[in-house]
Amino acid sequence: EAQVTQNPRYLITVTGKKLTVTCSQNMNHEYMSWYRQDPGLGLRQIYYSMNVEVTDKGDVPEGYKVSRKEKRNFPLILESPSPNQTSLYFCASIQRGGQETQYFGPGTRLLVL
């Protein structure tokens, strides 16, 4: 089954404690991205990757890092989380160059105290 998985699904942490949210897709897609969802703001892109070892900033990259060492994985790293990063995070993937549907992960709800 084609899918995007994220872990953990729920996370409560404290300010400054580094964390990583994993994202994995099984469709051999080149393009992956991370979004955050906040009430009244819709989803905003944090970072994206067009292929292995190719990443770039989206609209709200501050406070986040990503890496793309393998095609299937695209982890989101918060080196020093702050309360304003409390949000719902979605990972997505798509095969570039077509008009294919983007596949979204189930979401990770993060609370930073």
Partner 1 sequence: AQSVTQLDSHVSVSEGTPVLLRCNYSSSYSPSLFWYVQHPNKGLQLLLKYTSAATLVKGINGFEAEFKKSETSFHLTKPSAHMRDAAEYFCVVSYNTDKLIFGTGTRLQVFP
Least Å from the CB of residue 35 to partner 1 = 8
CB of 107 to partner 1, least distance (A): 5
Taking the least distance from each CB to partner 1, the nearer of 40 and 62 is 40
Q: Which stretch binds partner 1 (CB under 8 A): 20-28, 40-48, 69-77, 78-86?
A: 40-48
Question: Contact with partner 1 (CB under 8 A): which of 41, 54, 82, 84?
Answer: 41
d(CA 104, CA 24): 11
**Which pair of structure tokens corresponds to residue 37?**
């969802």
In sequence order, the β-bridge partners of residue 18 are: none
Query: Which residue is associated with the tokens 């955050």?
Result: 36
What stretch of H or E contains 106?
none
58: amino acid identity, one letter: G
Which residues within the stretch 10-39 sit at the binding site for partner 1 (CB under 8 A)?
31, 33, 35
The span from the CA of 113 to the CA of 34, in Å, is 22
Query: By the criterion CB under 8 A, which residues form the site for partner 1?
Result: 31, 33, 35, 40-45, 48, 50, 58, 90, 92, 94, 96, 99, 101-102, 104-107
